[in-house]
A and B are shown apart, each in its own frame.
Chain A
Amino acid sequence: MAERNEAPVLEVRGIVKVFGGVTALDGVSMSLLPGRVHCLAGENGSGKSTLIKIISGVDTPDAGEILIDGEAMSGMTPARALRAGIQVIYQDFSLFPNLTVAENIVLPAAIASRKKLFNRARSRPGAQRIVDELGLTLDLDADVEKLSVADRQLTAICRALVQDARILFMDEPTTALTHSEVARLFGLVRKLQERGVAIVFVSHKLDEVLEVSHDITVLRSGQLVASGDAREYSVQSLTVAMTGRDVDTTRLVNDLGKRGAPLLEVSRLDLPGAFTDISFDLAPGEILGITGLLGSGRGEIVEALFGLLKPESGTVTVNGAALRPGSIRSSISAGIGYVPEDRLTQGLFLEKSIADNIIAGSLDSHARGKVVLSQKRIAETISTLFTRLRIKAPSVAAPVRSLSGGNAQRVVLAKWLATKPKILILNGPTVGVDVGSKNEILTILRDAAREGMGVIMISDDVPELVSICNRVLIVRRGSLVAEFDSEQIEAQRIQEVMAA
């Protein structure tokens, strides 16, 4: 194994990057040593991906420098980064959907070596070799767009490893892999590391990170908040560093009073491949948490409630009336609102104004006779919600793109509150949101629930669930495996059941 005092192969100093209205990186420094695995940790939106893009030459930093082997690189481009031996496995894979697996694997290497010609047949053995070396089964002649997500991820990994990488970035490389594939990947990581490759591992699965890493750098809201030897960290202390607060398990839960008729009843919902036999109910004013590992099917369950997915069997009723399966309109008119996980593409109209976004879901109810919009009613709705949710923006006419994560999420919330929903489903409501906004969003939810709205909240953040939920359900491999009642909710136990 490499010595600790060896010269860093890559060093970044004081990197600053600003996008539109948001500072993605604010003076971040990091150095990578050959033969060591470096963990880059941080919540969504903390700037990890931006840092990777800057180092690989895709984005240009507004300030700061990148040194390779102690030499400052100015004007980094993707091609130069590749030639310097920097390889990146992107979170979105960055593959060419219209080309074959073999071509996807070998093309970047061909560019880096400044080839002018390309021979598909002759490049195939190179691709085959890396696939064999990793012990994978991939159809080299299939178009990437026809592959499953897992196979795409494997293709991206092969592509990075087919070249002689000196520095390898892996941005969430394990999200779509099975246990045995992850184990094989880690074996490979160790092999590369023995060869002296510096590896940067980005993952939100903290136990996984701690298993392979030597060094750790933690980012929060674009700032470097901690760095050091991985052995000095535990899952707990890493979480604290990432979120910037102690694991807060103070519970502040609305009292439900006597249980009346349920607002929502889910009965034996089934979608093969996604979830099986899901039954639960929700009382008016109740906040129900649903959690589970990524890929456990928790997201698919709520997507089925909102009509995005069509379950094969089972029923969902709101106040006793059954929903039409797979119909968003039916869910919305029954009074269900959904704050999606990916708010930038699914929740918001980024270029549109805050005002337009707020009334996007309730246009029909703001019209007289469904034909002409009532400007007065719209103005009332917007100004009420703008104030109530304390959205910080120069004016309601500002485009949503200019808002920070917390404010953008409030706009999504406002859009649904404007529809006066009976049930609000939130998928990861505080992901990528700063701590202050996070607490305010939780308060807004508590207030809305107190007025009788039912809330279903999906979250990875167990402490958050503990602090707000009346009940928590745990999903594992598509089934509900545990239910914690108000008295039983406790962070430690929930985490244990989730991971089991």
Chain B
Amino acid sequence: MTLAQRMKTLAPRLVGANNEGVLAIIIVVLIIVMSLLSPSFFTVHTLFSIVRSALVPSILAIAVLLVIISGGIDVSFAAIAIFAAYTTVHLAQQGQFDPGIIGILLFACAIGAVLGFVNGAVIARFRLPTLIVTLATQGIFRGILLVYIGSRYIAQLPDSMAGLSTANLIAIDSSRSYLPLLVVPVAVIVLIVAWMLRRTMFGRGIYAIGGDTEAARRAGFPVVRFQIILYMMVGAIAAIGGLIHVILNRNANPQDIVGTELDVIAAVVLGGASIFGGRGSVLGTVLGVVLVQLINNSLLLMGVPTAWQRAAVGLLLVVGVGIQALSARRASRRTFVLDTVEA
């Protein structure tokens, strides 16, 4: 086998099903370029701060990924995240009691799942467009939170949460580099979801529904049940994202998170998930989030005003999706000719 041939068979594997490889290469190149440009870039401090800033977006992106794979789109996850987290903190405060971090986690997840159920029930039962439904529920959830639960900023977290705020997995005091302990739960959730998508019938069912809902029905997948469970799961994961956000910020602000929906969706799409459903991976999504954080961080270091961050992410999205669109167009032309040959 010549080198060229070997490259040919190797290339698709490296690229990955959802272009994860390309994404990884871009990230590596960016790191190398930045290290050359700025000596302060290639440090543990930078690494930790990027990881820290990627924690909450990663969790939220994983939640969005699940919906996008199933062929939908969700803009209510941010409202669910802050609803669940703030409500939990608020109740613990009012009741003057701290159920412990496990209790808090379970409570927040339960709230998230209930809100997710509302989404799932309306979407699956009435077969309405997901974007419009979640747009409506976003307003409803956010409104209920601010009107009936609380609109006050809470500076004092329950002790069990406050303890986590400052807990570090690795702390290098000399360079003031800290890796928060919360990396662990985030990693666990990411791995669980990745496992679920690959190794469970539910996970494969989500891909199947996103690929062709009617075919999924014919193959015997309980489509309605799966969709409802999916949105409950998304709600619960978003709730965890909200909790982590609150813990990292050391306060609970009911105005937080909402407004970042489209940034998170952009990261998921950059990570190779198809907006039409059926395609996307946890690895790609995490890489997408990392890439966005990396760019933000790099721009900062290069002295580019933070104002450029939004435009940079948008530009990246255009390039990424544009290349996909153009290659899809070419591919469709090819298969067309092939089909006529076969016929």
Contacts and interface: CB of A to CB of B under 8 A. Distances in A.
Please tell me whether chains A and B touch each other in their complex, using a CB distance cut-off of 8 A. yes
User: In which size bucket is the chain B interface?
Assistant: 20 to 34
B279 interface: yes
Contacts of A391: none
Interface in A87-139: 88, 90, 94-99, 103, 107-108, 110-112, 115-120
A78 B343 contact: no
A148 interface: yes
Contacts of B214: 94
Interface string B192-228: 0000001111111101101110111111111000000
A96 B278 contact: yes
A300 interface: yes
B339 interface: yes
B207 A95 contact: no
B339 A149 contact: yes
B220 A79 contact: yes
Given A96-B212, A97-B278, A115-B201, A148 B342 contact: yes
A110 B216 CA distance: 13
A300 B337 CA distance: 11
Contact of A111 (B200, B201, B337, B343): B201
B126 to A, nearest CB: 18
A266 interface: no
Contacts, number: 95
A161 interface: no
Contact of A176 (B201, B217, B343): B343
A291 interface: no
A120 B211 contact: no
| Chain A CB within 10 A, most for which of B207, B338, B342 | B342
A77 B219 CA distance: 10
Contact of A97 (B204, B205, B211, B340): B211
B201 A148 contact: no
A94 B337 contact: no
Is chain B's interface secondary structure helix, strand, loop, or mixed overall? helix
Contact of A79 (B200, B222, B341): B222
A99 B204 CA distance: 9
B207 A96 contact: yes
A107 B204 contact: yes
A273 interface: yes
B211 A111 contact: no
A330 B152 CA distance: 66
A149 B220 contact: no
Nearest to A159: B219
A45 to B, nearest CB: 19
Contacts of B335: 146, 148
B212 A116 contact: no
A78 B210 contact: no
A127 to B, nearest CB: 14
Nearest to B278: A98
A488 B212 CA distance: 49
Interface string B300-343: 00000000000000000000000000000000000101111111
Given A58-B218, A96-B211, A99-B208, 6 more contacts: A96-B215, A99-B207, A108-B219, A115-B201, A148-B342, A274-B341
9 contacts: A58-B218, A96-B207, A96-B278, A97-B278, A110-B201, A112-B220, A116-B200, A149-B343, A273-B341
